[in-house]
Chain A
């Protein structure tokens, strides 16, 4: 492995010790992006100058004996729904094209304080609404494992950036699976923390009661370090959990001996056979590692998707009302204010966003609230209760992350419901606010393009159960073939990398 393409933790250690420079590490990633991102389109914006300036200042701090932090000089990619001060943040929507936030998201400040170097903003389904990154106003991101396939979504750009070896780390946001599903489809680690673990301040809202920011990484250990950096209480977010972030890195090597792990029956229903096979291999591996593994029923999780596709659009319909052409973003002029609002929104939002705004507006409207939104909130209660019942007997649960491996670009765009079904395994824990992560676990059957695409196994834990979840995740990783790493390595060996240090 090239010295400059180390996992994040090792890279930071090498930079902190002065063994390699942050500038050379960042330059290597930028040149990688410049040569290969044209075909993958993970990034909507690459911040060459800003990244090199930040890397220089990391090196300066190292030179003066300061510690720039646990992610010193580590290149990171940010989903373009995270506000970066003075740097365009668009949610991949025409309506916000070119908008420069006058403030920084809490996670971004924390990354900078930890020494991480933001190298670019990544593609997403417009306003994070989608499961394939095909709904972006700025083009479709391709799966680095098979360019004819989607990377998943909505954080497809971040997942692809890590899978392609552009950055060892990336941030995404997960509302109903938008980190975990693309992580699975791209063969990287993706984590959705407990709702409230990571500040949402500066994350452009899709559905406020569900949105969580979380890491993408090539390893569970890197993901743990990144979550430690971005997590913990933030007074700017009223829903931020006051408890301090525990040390996740410490619990990674502990194995699963004596743990009780449940395989969620409902979430295995209807998944493709190759995915199902990997999930059952994962349970066997856990049993082999000394855990008790049993099938468990979480009955209400069957209604997760139904509740999710009312709750998320309802909140979104309200969150997206602010894009009206008055204060920022796009405007389409018209004769009066109302007509201007209508013209702007009609021209500025893509079809999927409109669909969800209308669905959510309908679910909340007079005469329909009880039958739709109100009912979904009650189903949400049942899902939480059923999960909590399962956690009386199990420390953690496992399930598939996605019902299938990555699918062909364009294959699910005609039928919204079919696309929504991509989230069926991930939405229940989103509704519960529980943490869940996807860990790459081998690959699926060979597809039409003669490629075996990655499979992700999902690890679920009760609220605040990140330590348990990471312990299980790290164990699964240790027994799995790390598809992402092998792909990234292949890509790297084909490139001639210039480096000062290595």
Chain B
């Protein structure tokens, strides 16, 4: 899986990626003050003297934000440590104090890892607490920032607690980067740390991208900002990695700089070079004291953590392994099936059906193919019962699918649903009539089918299903086709 994307770079090159993810924590109030932490709202209504940095105000740390940060650290296998806050000094109008309170030298969480569905571990360098900024909107001047006009500032977001999660440069492709973000997001949402909405900016990703010839030392990296979806993350990484390879192959050098992803153009642009970078003049925040979470608190938080996606995938894989009677070997496709089921929160259903004796292949097949839109009113025992009937040959696959849809929509037990459907099942005579009509309409296809173009079987079965609105038994139809052909 890790190699999938290297194909996009010329032979012998690889991308080296590290991601910085900022997630807004799901607290009631801001990191350092008691005004509400809520998305949107009328401009400048979620404010108070502290979040506006008014003269004389002082920050006081939100206990719940610290607890959520510790949850994040524990979920990412980090050491939870004594930590301090520092001031990062730079001027920006949407930052009320013209410094950001962040954790610099001593982050609350460090040295962890995240396990991708592939099993690969991505190092987590640190996951620290910091405050968010407000938002400025450029108005007038034809909408171009370099032309005249003005900016309006809304401080509703100022002071919202963020956790910044910095990965090691362990990612090697845009697909892997996307998997990392998807997995991280799933973890953060599972533990209630964030709502994970990239489109609302509650999860934001910056990518540190460098390239090298396989086996070489790390190359010079660029930090790419303004990627607002998983899709643009992938595009930005691919663009930037190719840009750097091209530059190097032409004998040029990559300059360490911050670059901006332009979604419309599909390109990155230089924002500022390392030399032009602000001197942040970090120093310990004198208005705050260290956080030294005691063991008991940490263990209490650990004890209350929900089961994380990686563990849920392991459980499902092992349930499948154990229940399997055919001794199948499961490969990569299976890992991704398991990941999908867990990501959809349908692993409880799968585990329940398997332990109730349903065939594992059928469980997976139906969940993956027929429950993408959700499980509705379906209950685990009805699901298991239905699949047992299918495995016994009492109902056909297409009947099972139809009944499953019925159970999702209406609930109830499987026996009743199967009964109700049995009466609708098309009889053989009706099927034959339908098939005659089809052959007449599609004589060309029929000719080719009879000459051995086997894939056209699907075409005719599909047409019959369409005509019967899925009531026909697929196996019976196939049998009929075979008879008719001879």
Residue ranges of A at the interface with B (Cβ–Cβ < 8 Å): 81-83, 89, 91, 96, 99, 101-103, 105, 200-205, 207-209, 235-239, 314-315, 317-318, 321-322, 324, 326-328, 335, 337-338, 341, 361, 364-366, 369, 373
B201 to chain A, nearest CB (A): 21
Within 8 A of A (CB), among B83-100: 87, 89, 91, 93, 96-99
A318 and B279 contacting across the interface, CB-CB below 8 Å: no
**Residue B57 interfacial (CB < 8 Å):** yes
B56 and A101 contacting across the interface, CB-CB below 8 Å: yes
Least CB separation from A200: chain B residue = B58
**Residue B361 interfacial (CB < 8 Å):** no
A361 and B281 contacting across the interface, CB-CB below 8 Å: yes
Residues of chain A with a CB closer than 8 A to B281's CB: 317-318, 361, 364-366, 369
CB-CB under 8 A for A102 and B283, given A203-B56, A204-B55, A236-B58: no
A322 and B58 contacting across the interface, CB-CB below 8 Å: no
A-B contact pairs, 14 of them (CB 8 A): A81-B56, A83-B56, A105-B56, A201-B58, A204-B56, A208-B287, A236-B58, A237-B60, A238-B60, A321-B91, A326-B153, A337-B93, A369-B281, A369-B283
Residues of chain B with a CB closer than 8 A to A209's CB: 286
B289 and A318 contacting across the interface, CB-CB below 8 Å: no
Residues of chain A with a CB closer than 8 A to B59's CB: 238
Interchain CA distance A324-B289 in the complex, whole Å: 27
Residues of chain A with a CB closer than 8 A to B87's CB: 318
Interchain CA distance A103-B49 in the complex, whole Å: 7
B62 to chain A, nearest CB (A): 12
A328 and B98 contacting across the interface, CB-CB below 8 Å: no
User: What does the 1/0 interface line of B350-383 toward A look like (CB < 8 Å)?
Assistant: 0000000000000000000000000000000000
**Residue B151 interfacial (CB < 8 Å):** yes
**Residue B412 interfacial (CB < 8 Å):** no
**Residue B53 interfacial (CB < 8 Å):** yes
Interchain CA distance A437-B93 in the complex, whole Å: 41
B237 to chain A, nearest CB (A): 30
Q: A208-B286, A318-B281, A327-B96 are in contact. List 9 more A-B contacts (CB 8 A).
A: A101-B49, A207-B286, A236-B58, A238-B58, A238-B288, A324-B93, A328-B54, A335-B148, A364-B89
Interchain CA distance A209-B53 in the complex, whole Å: 17
Residues of chain B with a CB closer than 8 A to A364's CB: 89, 281-283
B55 and A238 contacting across the interface, CB-CB below 8 Å: no
Residues of chain A with a CB closer than 8 A to B287's CB: 205, 208, 238-239
Interchain CA distance A239-B53 in the complex, whole Å: 17
Residues of chain B with a CB closer than 8 A to A338's CB: 91
Interchain CB contact (< 8 A) of B55 among A207, A322, A365: A322
Residues of chain A with a CB closer than 8 A to B241's CB: none
Interchain CB contact (< 8 A) of A205 among B55, B91, B151, B289: B55
Q: Which of B54, B61, B99 has the most CB atoms of chain A within a 10 A radius of its CB? A: B54
Residues of chain A with a CB closer than 8 A to B162's CB: none
Least CB separation from B279: chain A residue = A366
B55 and A239 contacting across the interface, CB-CB below 8 Å: no
A322 and B53 contacting across the interface, CB-CB below 8 Å: yes
B98 and A236 contacting across the interface, CB-CB below 8 Å: no
CB-CB under 8 A for A326 and B58, given A102-B49, A103-B49, A365-B279: no
Interchain CB contact (< 8 A) of A239 among B49, B61, B151, B289: B289
Interchain CA distance A166-B19 in the complex, whole Å: 63
CB-CB under 8 A for A101 and B54, given A238-B288, A318-B281, A365-B281: yes
How many chain B residues touch A (CB < 8 A): the figure is: 30
A55 to chain B, nearest CB (A): 26
Interchain CA distance A317-B282 in the complex, whole Å: 12
B215 to chain A, nearest CB (A): 34
**Residue B52 interfacial (CB < 8 Å):** yes
Interchain CA distance A203-B53 in the complex, whole Å: 13
Least CB separation from B92: chain A residue = A337
Interchain CB contact (< 8 A) of B286 among A201, A315, A324, A327: A315
B89 and A321 contacting across the interface, CB-CB below 8 Å: yes
Residues of chain A with a CB closer than 8 A to B279's CB: 365-366
Residues of chain B with a CB closer than 8 A to A208's CB: 286-287
Residues of chain A with a CB closer than 8 A to B93's CB: 324, 326, 337, 341
B89 and A238 contacting across the interface, CB-CB below 8 Å: no
What 5 A-B pairs come out closest when comparing CB atoms?
Answer: A321-B98, A208-B286, A364-B281, A209-B286, A204-B55
Residues of chain A with a CB closer than 8 A to B98's CB: 321-322, 324
B48 to chain A, nearest CB (A): 9
A311 to chain B, nearest CB (A): 9
Interchain CA distance A321-B283 in the complex, whole Å: 14
Residues of chain B with a CB closer than 8 A to A201's CB: 56-58
B102 to chain A, nearest CB (A): 13
CB-CB under 8 A for A341 and B91, given A102-B49, A326-B153, A364-B283: yes
Residues of chain A with a CB closer than 8 A to B99's CB: 318, 321
Interchain CB contact (< 8 A) of A373 among B89, B153, B283: B283
Interchain CB contact (< 8 A) of A83 among B55, B60, B61: B55
Least CB separation from A328: chain B residue = B54
B96 and A236 contacting across the interface, CB-CB below 8 Å: no
Interchain CA distance A17-B97 in the complex, whole Å: 48
B310 to chain A, nearest CB (A): 37
Residues of chain A with a CB closer than 8 A to B286's CB: 207-209, 239, 315
Interchain CA distance A339-B87 in the complex, whole Å: 23
B97 and A322 contacting across the interface, CB-CB below 8 Å: yes
Interchain CA distance A328-B97 in the complex, whole Å: 12
Within 8 A of A (CB), among B54-113: 54-61, 87, 89, 91, 93, 96-99
Least CB separation from B33: chain A residue = A236
Least CB separation from A360: chain B residue = B281
A56 to chain B, nearest CB (A): 28
B55 and A318 contacting across the interface, CB-CB below 8 Å: no
Within 8 A of A (CB), among B305-325: none
Q: Which of B49, B52, B281, B288 has the most CB atoms of chain A within a 10 A radius of its CB? A: B281
User: What does the 1/0 interface line of B284-311 toward A look like (CB < 8 Å)?
Assistant: 0011110000000000000000000000
Interchain CA distance A317-B98 in the complex, whole Å: 11
Interchain CA distance A83-B58 in the complex, whole Å: 13
A314 and B56 contacting across the interface, CB-CB below 8 Å: no
Q: Which of B60, B99, B283 has the most CB atoms of chain A within a 10 A radius of its CB? A: B283
Interchain CA distance A472-B300 in the complex, whole Å: 49
Interchain CA distance A328-B287 in the complex, whole Å: 22
Within 8 A of A (CB), among B34-57: 49, 52-57
B134 to chain A, nearest CB (A): 10
A238 and B289 contacting across the interface, CB-CB below 8 Å: yes
Interchain CA distance A91-B54 in the complex, whole Å: 13
CB-CB under 8 A for A237 and B55, given A318-B89, A326-B93: no
Least CB separation from A201: chain B residue = B58
A342 to chain B, nearest CB (A): 9
A202 and B56 contacting across the interface, CB-CB below 8 Å: yes
A314 and B283 contacting across the interface, CB-CB below 8 Å: yes
Least CB separation from A367: chain B residue = B279
Residues of chain B with a CB closer than 8 A to A326's CB: 93, 153
A103 and B54 contacting across the interface, CB-CB below 8 Å: yes
A99 and B55 contacting across the interface, CB-CB below 8 Å: yes
A238 and B61 contacting across the interface, CB-CB below 8 Å: yes
